Amino acid sequence: MPVGVHEYTVYYTSIQNDDDSSSLRKFSFRNLNNDYASLYTIIMNGFTASPLYDIKLELPNNYIWLHYTGSALPEKATVQFMVSSKETAAATSSVSEPFVKDQINKLFQK
């Protein structure tokens, strides 16, 4: 990894628990082009933008959809991460618990 490039891993609890395995899931990305700040901005903007559809993001190993609910009341709005693997052999998908704005700020240490 180039000097100065950090890798970030986001851990979350999946609300889809199809088997007996742990409900703890994660996705990772490298901060190549200020991706950390960009992801934070995209997530936070979605709280007030009232997106009609889920926002799809592509990471090297995953697709992530940001699913917003309750945008009519910004203080009650939530976002969920819907994550799926790009690898067809390991075609797993999971959905996080809903996060409110304050939880996203804590997640990104803001």
Q: What is the mean pLDDT of the chain?
A: 84
Mind listing the pLDDT tens digit for each residue in 18-54? 665 678 888 888 888 889 999 999 999 998 887 788 9
Percent of the chain clearing pLDDT 90 (strictly above): 34
**Mean of pLDDT values over 57-67:** 91
Higher pLDDT, 23 or 74: 23
Map residue 57 onto helix, strand or coil.
strand
What's the pLDDT at 1?
43
By 3-state DSSP, what share of the chain in percent is helix, strand and coil, each rounded to 5? Answer: 25, 35, 40
Q: How many CB atoms lie within 10 A of CB 3?
A: 4
- Residue 75 corresponds to which tokens in the numbers above? 């203080």
Backbone angles phi, psi at 107, to 5 degrees: -60, -40
- Domain extents in the chain: 7-107
Map residue 83 onto helix, strand or coil.
strand
Higher pLDDT, 3 or 54: 54
Nearest-CA neighbor of 33 among 58, 9, 6, 57? 6
What's the pLDDT at 93?
83
Higher pLDDT, 48 or 79: 79
